[in-house]
Every structure is written in C-alpha cells, then in structure tokens.
Amino acid sequence: MNLIIDVGNTSVKLAVFQKGTIICKEVVDIDKIEVKIQELKNKHPLLSKAIISSVGNLSQSQLVNITKHIKTIVLNHNVKVPFKNKYKTPGTLGVDRIALVSAAVLKHPKKNVLIIDAGTCVTYDFINSKNEYLGGAISPGISIRYKSLNNLTANLPLLKRKAPKKLIGNSSIESIHSGIINGILMEIDGIINKYQKKYKDLTVILTGGDSDFLSKRLKSSIFANSNFLLEGLNFILEFNSNE
C-alpha cells in the first residue's frame, strides 16, 4: 500500500493506494497532517511507502517526523519521472505540475495531452505523443481574481464564487461575477482551441478544486478528474520503486 501526501496552498490531501486504486482519501489542515497520517497507518498497517508533494508550508520538523516512520520520497525536480522534461528551467517547475504530467503519461500514453489544473492558480501543462513535456502556462485562479479586485481597488467588494445568470452585469456585483467567471471560461476555452489547432487528437484533462464548477460551463470537450494529481504522484512513487 502507498501513502500519497499532497500539500497544497490551502489544505493537505492524503490518499491510500492499493494496486493503483484509491481506497481512502482525506483532506485536512496542515497542522493536523501528522495526526491524520498516524490514523491512516493504524487503519492500514500494510502501508509501506509514501511520497510527498508540497507547494505549501510544510515545516522541516513535520517533514522529518513523517519520513522517520515510513519510507518516503520527497518530490522535487531531481526525482526520476516517466517523461522527458524539456522545460528550460526544470528546477523551477512546480512539483504539482510534475505529478500532473506523470498522470497524463499513465492514463494517456503516447498522446498529445493538455492538463488544466484549476486551483489557486490555473496551470496549463502539455506533453506530446513523443512523451516530451514542453511546458505550458500559469494564470490566476478564480479565488485570486476575486481577491485582486477587492485588494487592488477602493470600492469593489470581496465576493464568493458565483456563476453569472447573464453576460451583461446590471450591477457592480453582477458585473464582477460576469467578468471573472466568463473571463476564466473564455480563457480556458480559448487556450484549448489554440492547442487543438496546433496538435491533432488532443486530449484535455481538467482537474483541481474548481474543476467541477468549470467543467459544467466550458464549451470544449474535456475529461474532468479530481484525483488526477494523486494518481500521478502514486505513479511516480511506483516508477521509482521499480528502478
């Protein structure tokens, strides 16, 4: 059994895999991570190895305590991955993006795949049919767009995510919803369209915290998979275990 630990910007996802299948998944605050891991180990005594992917604020002491009790890979750009990385600055490539591309190799081998992760940021990552990772793009996510309008202007309120009822907002609040939600939908659809014109037989994966909200409203044909990053991390763990 494998333990997958994904430390994000706002929370920690923990998953237990058995033979490539998720049998348990938890989401906790970062200060509860050690307690929850111990609970999972007690519940699943066959857990033998783990992988940590952290884009958040996992402390060194937490890391030491976790790795002390289970054989663990801490994902970084030096860990072996199942694709050829052609990113010009591999040391700056986020571990979450490395995991997503690995999942694309696992689920859609030898295909042109665009992975869109709609979370705090929206990341776009592309791997071609030759198993070459070429890069992608990063833009602000939905929550950042709402916060920026509130933080950087004097009179606009901070709103919660809401799908606009119509294109033309007839109040400041409705105009904010229309601008942010329609804007991000048009961005994603537009980028997918650009990739489709350049690469034939493109497979598009949408994942991340806002994937369910966005997938219902996008015009483009996509595959939504909320566990895509976790599956990629498990693949990397197995890939290195078999080396």
Q: Which residues are catalytic?
A: 96
According to the annotation, is 8 in a ligand binding site? Answer: yes
Give the separation between CA 166 and CA 107, rounded to whole angstroms. 37
According to the annotation, is 120 in a ligand binding site? Answer: yes
According to the annotation, is 7 in a ligand binding site? Answer: yes
According to the annotation, is 87 in a ligand binding site? Answer: yes
According to the annotation, is 6 in a ligand binding site? Answer: yes
Give the separation between CA 243 and CA 6, rounded to whole angstroms. 23
According to the annotation, is 12 in a ligand binding site? Answer: yes
Backbone angles phi, psi at 9, to 5 degrees: -75, -25
Give the separation between CA 161 and CA 204, rounded to whole angstroms. 24
Give the separation between CA 193 and CA 48, rounded to whole angstroms. 43
According to the annotation, is 97 in a ligand binding site? Answer: yes
**Cβ-proximal residues to 209 (8 Å cutoff; 6+ apart), any chain:** 118, 119, 120
Q: Enumerate the known binding-site residues for K(+).
A: 117
Q: Enumerate the known binding-site residues.
A: 6-13, 87, 94-97, 117, 120, 172
Q: Enumerate the known binding-site residues for ATP.
A: 6-13, 120
Q: Enumerate the known binding-site residues for substrate.
A: 87, 94-97, 172
